[in-house]
Structure 1
């Protein structure tokens, strides 16, 4: 089902669909295959494998793309990852624009000055599985934020409804655009607004 804001015949790269109950199982199976594929890479034994993003939050409308995350240290070389993940149908994502967000590094957040290397990442895409794979350092703040944010939305229906309302409004603004980069950037305003709230919630768990 398309986002209710999408007009028939108009292209919307950020079109939303209603939550699909099969998304967690799809993510679980993909993560298991990814874990096996990178098993011989340095750091894989201690890596964390996460289903993140809106498809990981029951009841939340989302773009029908499964967001997955591996948190690993050290961050593997791009060539090593590409060789390991290619048989699964994942290839290195380059972004639709030269400044597409979150491709080679996450946008630094917070007031604490950190080594810029901590924000480095590798982004992979699978057309076959309609999945996005974020590979971040284990000590990446973004890696932790994505998990906290996911769990906070799962536990907080009011926040989940607020976020969906923001997503639907922003999605409606993307009709006719070539990609969803603007949608991704615009969601940052909501993230900025609620970060202290979900970090505080996580600290009390």
Structure 2
């Protein structure tokens, strides 16, 4: 059950319930470092992907290397982002024990947002995001990744935004959340172009017949 094009193009964010804290475990706060492109990142991602596949077997429906480290030539935080699709993220007994045994640590649980869970892994640093088959977010990640791979101009635009956001956030003593907010405008512009090219452009609001 895949999401529709309209769902993929949507930017609606579900708000957490009042008082809910998605964090199960937080990484220690560290300076935000944007590293120059490392040709070893894809190989490192494949090694971690193999670890996940061994741990979950057929429970791993799909796993993708996404994010900036998946785009050759793009500077990035030296942290591998992976999107893992499982049948039922809400049924944590199906995958949490196996991933924990393989060295992953459950860090985020936010079922109100596409049933999302996130695990972290050290050496190498990895964020493993878990979604359901119907979640639109992983498709956005794939569309953006492939667009940046194929479009040098947008790749450079995003690289400039990332460097500027990291410098400003580090100078202000901010966390990753603030860094992400600082580059959000540039990222949204690029993602909208990527979605349009993929045939998933957001629908224009219907015209008001009274006007």
**Is TM-score (shorter-chain normalized) higher than 0.5?**
yes
Q: Distance in 2 between matches of 1:171 and 1:23?
A: 20
What residue is the counterpart of 2:22 in the other structure? none
- Residue 175 of structure 2 is aligned to residue 182 of structure 1: no
Deviation at 1:76, TM superposition (A): 4.8
Give the Cα–Cα distance (whole angstroms) in 2 for the partners of residues 178 and 197 of structure 1: 29
Gaps of 5+ in 2: 1-28, 201-211
**Residue of structure 2 equivalent to 1:131:** 126
**Cα RMSD after superposing both structures:** 2.2
Give distance in 1, aligned partners of 2:194 and 2:139: 11
Is 1:86 matched with 2:100? yes
| 1:34-74 deviation digits (Å, cap 9, x = unpaired) | 01211254xx3xx1210000000001000000111112322
Using the TM superposition, give the Cα deviation of residue 164 of structure 1 relative to its aligned residue in structure 2, in angstroms. 0.4
Structure with max Cα Rg: 2
TM-score by length of 2: 0.73
1:28 corresponds to which residue?
Answer: 46
Query: What SS does the aligned partner of 1:173 have?
Result: helix
Contact 1:78 1:122 in 2 (8 A): no
Task: Tell me the alpha carbon deviations over residues 69-103 of structure 1, each in whole angstroms, 9 at most, x when there is no partner.
Answer: 11232225334432111222110114xxxxxxxx6
- The answer to whether the Cα contact below 8 Å between 1:75 and 1:121 also exists between their aligned partners in 2 is yes
Q: Could you say which residue in structure 2 is the equivalent of 1:37? A: 55
- How has the CA–CA distance of structure 1 residues 201 and 59 changed in structure 2, closer, same or farther, with 3 Å as cutoff? same
Contact 1:69–1:134 (Cα < 8 Å) also in 2: yes
Regions of 4+ moved over 4 Å: none
Q: 1:98 corresponds to which residue?
A: none
Instruction: Give distance in 1, aligned partners of 2:43 and 2:163.
Output: 25
Checking the alignment, whether the CA contact within 8 Å between 1:19 and 1:62 is kept in structure 2 is: yes
Distance 2:150 2:106 in 1: 33
The count of corresponding residues between Structure 1 and Structure 2 is 171
- CA separation of 1:93 and 1:132: change in aligned 2, threshold 3 A: same
Map 1:23-172 onto structure 2 (within 5 A): 23-39=41-57, 41=59, 44=60, 47-94=61-108, 104=110, 119-172=114-167
**TM-score, length basis structure 1:** 0.75
For 1:137 and 1:191, the matched residues in 2 are separated by 24
